[in-house]
Each structure stands twice: as C-alpha cells, then as structure tokens.
Amino acid sequence: MSSWGVLAFLWLACFCRGTLSCPALCTCYHRRGEVICNEVPLTEYPTVGLPKNTTLLTIQFTNITTISEEHLSATPLLQGLHLYSNRLQTLSPHLLRGVPHLNTLDLTGNKLGDLPADVFSHAPLHSLVLKNNLMDKADAEWLPGNSSLTWLDLSGNLLTKIPTALLQKLPLLENIDLSNNRLEKIPANSLELMTKVERLSLQGNKLDTLDASVFQSTRNLTYLFLSRNKLNKLPQNLFQQLTQLSHLGLDDNQLSHIPPGLLDQLSSLDDDGLDLTGNPWLCDGKVEYLWRWLQKNKKKAFLSENITCAGPQALAGRSVLSLTESELNL
C-alpha cells in the first residue's frame, strides 16, 4: 500500500472512531443523534465521548449533582436535554450559552433550589420543566426579556407566591403548571399579560379565594385546574371572559355554594368537562342555581350523581341532582 493509501486509511479510522464514540455506561444512536444514560452509576456529567452531533440527550436516575456551561458545550447541536430524577443541586450561570439550538430542557425530579441569574438565557427555549424540585421562588432573571418560552412547568415545588415578575416576561406562554406548590393567593395582575395561555394548572395549592379579575386577560384558556385547594367562595363574574373553556376542575375544595350566574358563560364546556365533586355542598335555598344548572347541563358535569349534599343533615349524602323543589323549599 502506498504512503498516501496508508494515510487515507488512518484518517478514515480516526474519523470513524471519533464520530462513533459514546460515553461509558450510555447508549448512543448515532444516526438519529440521540444519547441515553439510564439508571447507571454516573456521578459526573458524561462529557467524554459524547458525539458532537448529538441533538437529543437523556440522563436519568444517576448520581450527578451539578451541571455547567462547559459540560453542555460538548454538544453544540443539542436541541433536547432531559435530566429526569438525578441528584442535581446546582446549575452554573449562563448554563445554556454553548447550546444555541436547545429548545427543550426538562429537569424533573432533582434537588434544585436557588438558581443563578441568566441560567436559562442564551438558548431559544420553548419548553422548560422544573417539576418536583425544591424551589421556593422562581426568579424573573432566569430568562431573557425576549424569551420564546411557550411551556413552563413549576409544579411540585415549594412556591408560596405566584412568580408574577417571571410570568410577565413570558407573553408567549401557552401552558403554565403551578400545581402542587404552597400558593395562598394570586394577585389580580399576575396573569394580565398571559393572553395566549391555553392551559393553566393551579391544583393542589392553598388558595381559599380568587380575585374577580384574575382571569380577565386569559381569554384563550381551554383547560383550567383549580382542584384540591381550599376555595370556599368564588366571585360571580370569575369566569365571565372564559368563553373558550372546555375543562374546569373545581373538585376537592370547600365550596358550599356558588353564586348565581357563575357558570353561565361556560357554554363551550365539553361533556364531563366540569368537576364539582368532593365539595361540602349545603343544600338549602342557595343551592338552587347549581341545582337548576345541573338539571340543564347534566352531561357537562363529571360524575354528576357524585355532587352530593353535606348538609342539612336530612339531605346529607344525597345527590344535588336528585333533590326536588319541595326539598329545597323553592
């Protein structure tokens, strides 16, 4: 073999070895640019051996505790990064500066608390999932003012206040999940720039009431989940602007009555689209509006027969639908 032939062979061997590299304990699918490190004893981010053409990286159920800008710079073409259920405690500032194509970042099930400013800047994120971590605040400085984020999941954290400043920087949001936190109040202006939001989850918090104007700007809402709170009273015009709403969860609250007219604007509810179960309904004269609404809209109420009276004692356990006019003293 000529010297040129030898050189060509060596170059090709090195090239192939480089493009087909893969970190130890991980699986690489080179053709589709995907790397998966699943349930392996990794303690450090697997930078060595990561193919530079990686576009999708999943690292889950490992012992990795930190991740830095330098780590991610090893895969400059990355578009999706999924880091489920590791032991991440810290993220470096400017974390995404080396991945200018990243649009999806999922950090579910880690141990993240305080995060540095600009941690999620420098990449065109569309989806950011921070579910089931240890965050007691969500800082507006995490993201740039021109963020393209459409999906934000902060569920399962320790938030006591709705992150108004952060949300007001994200006018393109379509999905916001703040469920299973410790929210006690939603300021009236918190959602005023959320004109594109279609899905809002606030279930599993400590809300006992809502401002009458809180949903005034969210006219594109189709799914609204308020289940498992402490709501005991709702303003009459609370849902007046939500003419696109198809699903509304009000189950497992402390509602004994709802004001006349509350549900009248919700003409777009799907069948089984309204859940009112698990509330202590007081079946006196004030339940007339709910009773009449259920008579006309039985199909729209999820498990309508399970919407039952908590009192008075003579009617306890009865389905609201089954009551008669005489029993309600109408």
- Cα 99 from Cα 114, distance rounded (Å): 22
Among 174, 202, 88, 172, CA closest to 134? 88
Average pLDDT over residues 137-146: 93
> Six-digit token pair at 129?
């999932």
Domains detected in the chain: 1-134 (3.80.10.10), 185-330 (3.80.10.10)
Q: What is the pLDDT of residues 237-292, one digit of tens each?
A: 999 999 999 999 999 999 999 999 999 989 999 999 999 999 999 999 899 999 99
Is 286 strand, coil or helix? Answer: helix
The more confidently predicted of residues 157 and 15 is 157
DSSP label at residue 295: H
pLDDT at 206: 98
Q: What is the pLDDT of residues 213-230, one digit of tens each?
A: 999 999 999 999 999 999
pLDDT at 146: 82
The more confidently predicted of residues 23 and 325 is 23
For residue 6, pLDDT beyond 50: no
pLDDT at 12: 39
pLDDT at 162: 93
- Cα 203 from Cα 15, distance rounded (Å): 53
- Cα 160 from Cα 308, distance rounded (Å): 32
Q: Got the DSSP string for 199-258?
A: EEE--SS------TTTTSS-TT--EEE--SS------TTTTTT-TT--EEE--SS--S--
Give the model's confidence band at 5: pLDDT under 50 very low, under 70 low, under 90 confident, else very high.
very low
* Bridge pairing between strands 223-225 and 199-201: parallel
pLDDT at 326: 82
Lowest mean pLDDT among 14-28, 103-117, 159-173, 263-277: 14-28
pLDDT at 330: 63
- Cα 222 from Cα 229, distance rounded (Å): 20
Give the model's confidence band at 101: pLDDT under 50 very low, under 70 low, under 90 confident, else very high.
very high
| Residue 176 host element (H or E) | strand 175-177
Give the model's confidence band at 327: pLDDT under 50 very low, under 70 low, under 90 confident, else very high.
confident
H helices of the chain, where? Answer: 3-19, 69-72, 164-167, 288-296
